[in-house]
Structure 1
Amino acid sequence: MPTVFLPTSFSYASVYHDYVQACKDKYSKDARILAESTFTNIWKSLMLSLQFMSSKTDLCETCEIMKMDIRYASQYEKKLELTNSYLAHLNRAQKERDYYNANIINAVEDSKHNPNVVSS
């Protein structure tokens, strides 16, 4: 089963909060709700294919969605169209990365030649 990554804005605590709210909405206050630690342990043992992206991950949510769409497309033409869109997205992302990396290099070089010294 392919791994599905949830955005970095999600966590076990935020999903647990949503679970509690959904239980209260559906079953009113009579619902028996799992403790957060039990919820997390069950999640980790049964939901191996559902993981949270770390903030260090070099993947964006759009990339993950596009890869999932490609993986599950059944028609060849649709898969080819989705692959072309994904490659265009990667190309735009690489250009953006190159732009920012070039600016960082320019800023470092500029700071080496800057005669202004700040003293405390």
Structure 2
Amino acid sequence: MPRLLPLAATLALGLAALPAEAFIAQNDMNVSPEGGGFHVAFKAGAGVNDYWCAAGDYVIRDLGLSRSTRIWRVSPPPRRAGEGISFSLTPEGAARSTGLAVYPETGSLPAHHAEALCWEPKIEED
């Protein structure tokens, strides 16, 4: 039983570090409301497609919005080391680029396209 105490304490500290409203996307990335949009927290080793995957999953599964809902990237690429990416459901303040190779480049993707990136090969740079 004494061995379980450190494990329980570690688990409790880890959960306490997440905002109460945090959503855990299917790729284990943390998404939380931020201002008028939402933020996908930094995760070591995650590529830009992982952030978009989490954004699409959040919009569809957590917010319950249509799969055709457009998501705009607010944080301009490239993402700096240790930073997450902020997104919005409106074009105000949006970055000019998604950070992905998409055509035409509008700075946004429909939620279903973003969520589809959960199954795409990893893109390391944005």
Greater strand fraction, Structure 1 or Structure 2: 2
TM-score w.r.t. structure 2 length?
0.25
Structure having the larger proportion of residues in helix: 1
